[in-house]
A and B are shown apart, each in its own frame.
Chain A
Amino acid sequence: MTLLLGIVMLLAAISALGVVLSRQTLYSALSLVVTLSMVAVIFLLLNAQFLFAVQIIIYAGAVMVLFVFIIALLNPEAEDRPAFDWRSWIGIAAVAGITILVFVTARNGITYNDGGLRGAQIGRVSDPYHTFSFPPDAVNAAGNVQTVAGQLFTTFILPFEITSLLLLVAAIGAVYLTRREHSGS
């Protein structure tokens, strides 16, 4: 399982590089589809089945389809993309270096008080902030959707409701910016 996880992660990383390095814009978008799908598979291997399905349906099935759609329709030439020169390589190297450094040096033994992922116990009702850890097997036993929905509609109800307003704003904006001017307004 660990080997499989490693392979999938490697594929995710390679396809993520493909997003940046592809000469053709469409191939960049398709690489992103692969990346997101691989992330979904990582969820699956970690036994988070609901996340896997949602990741696929939303990203691969809805968001990226529209990306691919638009890119293929506009069909930008490969020359339109900025070429990589030595400066961009220095930038890439710097970002990659810092990222690797951060992750390599992470978890150097500092423990924080009650760092929820490690410290919290399941079912502490007395917990004033109502946090729990969710081991995948327990979640699958209780029902993936049920557990997510239970959290979504109690602990995280406020962010959840705000999201709906956010989508409304986005919808209004899309309609406003693209609608044709009707006569006389």
Chain B
Amino acid sequence: MIGGDEWWVLLIKIVVVVLGLVTIAAYLTLAERKVSARIQLRIGPNRVGPYGMLQPAADAVKMLFKENTAPSNRDRLLFLVGPSLAAGAALLSFAFIPLGINNWFNYQFHWDVGHANVGLLFILGVSSYGVYALFLGGWAANSKYSLLGGLRASAQLISYEMAVAFALIGAVIIAGSLDLEQIVHAQQGAWFIVLQPLAFLLYFTGAFAETNRAPFDLPEAETELVAGYHTEYSSLRFGLYFLGEYVNMVVVSSIATTLFLGGWLPIFPFHPFDWIPGPLWFLGKVAVLIFVMMWVRWTFPRLRYDRLMSFGWKVLLPLGLVNILITGTVVALRA
């Protein structure tokens, strides 16, 4: 069906990926604070552990032991569904991303959890459940800040999903496949960021909106909406939203890496670069993209909401269409 692994291999992969992503998300919070501190000429967390390295663990413990408050007029079921779905959808979307392929003793090992020949569509499909998480979470809390945040989040996500998908199509046309491994293979000559610079920019811009990050973090704009859709959440439920948000950063960066930055391929296809294993290349590229996302967050001011929407519909989407048109024409002429 999906992938060809034995069930126990699959189980190990799932456990590793989930734990890995949770750990990465935890350390991304630290990274975020460090980066912001550096940009604002501060030092950042440095008390817990050397250079503050144990800060995420301390934060996790703190979050677990916080009082789990909830509004009394909430919708009980959806109040639970919201955060769980946020974390679940984000974690699940990562399942189809290939971190590399290795041949060990005639055994081909795929560094992914699931593999499908329409893998890219799987990711887009699964991540579309994230909209429900934000919106239902905001609605269930029965507070106007939450509702407004949830509304903004879902409207923004729906609008930018289109632009993002259109940007991806350019790369898909060149690769001639929706299979993520095939797409990476197709970049052995040149990374698609070279062939599709516009698409990469469009995707990466849209990715900020998809992850609700500054300058597109309107759903949780603290100056007007307290904390947006998760205003009423605390303790572990808040933690799940937080986790979902940071895992989403990893996911969009991974998609960008796979489609535009050559996935696990080394930057130059000769020694010593190809001594470094593929998954490390992959994670390194993801790290660079995530750093850029943080950098942008602490550098640019927030957009006004109507500008955000018109930017998505009137700039990103038409540019995406133009990109598809040009790419399609060139590919058709070369064929």
Chain A interface residues (CB < 8 Å from chain B): 26, 30, 33, 40, 44-45, 47, 49-50, 52-54, 56-57, 60-62, 65-66, 68-69, 72-73, 140, 143-145
Contacts and interface: CB of A to CB of B under 8 A. Distances in A.
Contacts of A26: 78, 139
B125 A53 contact: yes
B287 interface: no
22 contacts: A49-B2, A49-B117, A49-B122, A50-B118, A52-B122, A53-B118, A56-B125, A57-B121, A57-B128, A60-B125, A60-B128, A61-B129, A62-B158, A65-B128, A65-B132, A65-B154, A65-B158, A66-B158, A68-B135, A69-B154, A72-B135, A143-B177
A61 B117 contact: no
A61 B121 contact: no
A84 B281 CA distance: 61
A144 B249 CA distance: 29
Interface string B151-176: 10011001001000000000000000
Given A60-B128, A61-B131, A145-B178, A140 B158 contact: no
B9 interface: no
Contacts of A144: 117-118, 178
B309 interface: no
Contacts of B154: 65, 69
A57 B1 contact: no
B1 A68 contact: no
A56 B120 CA distance: 13
B116 A49 contact: yes
A49 B118 contact: yes
Given A68-B135, A69-B135, A53 B124 contact: yes
Given A50-B121, A52-B125, A145-B177, 7 more contacts: A30-B78, A49-B122, A61-B124, A61-B125, A61-B131, A143-B177, A144-B117
Contacts of B131: 61, 65
A54 B132 contact: no
Contacts of B139: 26, 72
B126 interface: yes
B161 A61 contact: yes
Contacts of B118: 49-50, 53, 144-145
Contacts of B161: 61
Nearest to A37: B129
Nearest to B127: A61
B334 to A, nearest CB: 18
Contacts of B132: 30, 33, 65, 68
B157 to A, nearest CB: 8
Nearest 4 CB-CB pairings of A with B: A61-B128, A53-B121, A56-B125, A57-B125
A98 B255 CA distance: 49
A118 to B, nearest CB: 25
B92 to A, nearest CB: 11
B1 A44 contact: yes
B294 to A, nearest CB: 28
Nearest to B123: A53
A14 to B, nearest CB: 16
Given A65-B132, A68-B132, A69-B154, A140 B117 contact: yes
A33 B151 CA distance: 18
A56 B155 CA distance: 18
Contact of B121 (A54, A69, A73, A143): A54
Contacts of A72: 135, 139
A69 B118 CA distance: 29
Most buried by A among B125, B126, B135: B125
Given A45-B1, A61-B131, A72-B135, A143 B124 contact: no
A18 to B, nearest CB: 12
Nearest to B131: A65
Contacts of B122: 49, 52-53
Nearest to B182: A143
A60 B131 CA distance: 10
A56 B128 contact: yes
Nearest to A65: B131
A143 B2 CA distance: 14
Contacts of A60: 125, 128-129
A8 to B, nearest CB: 13
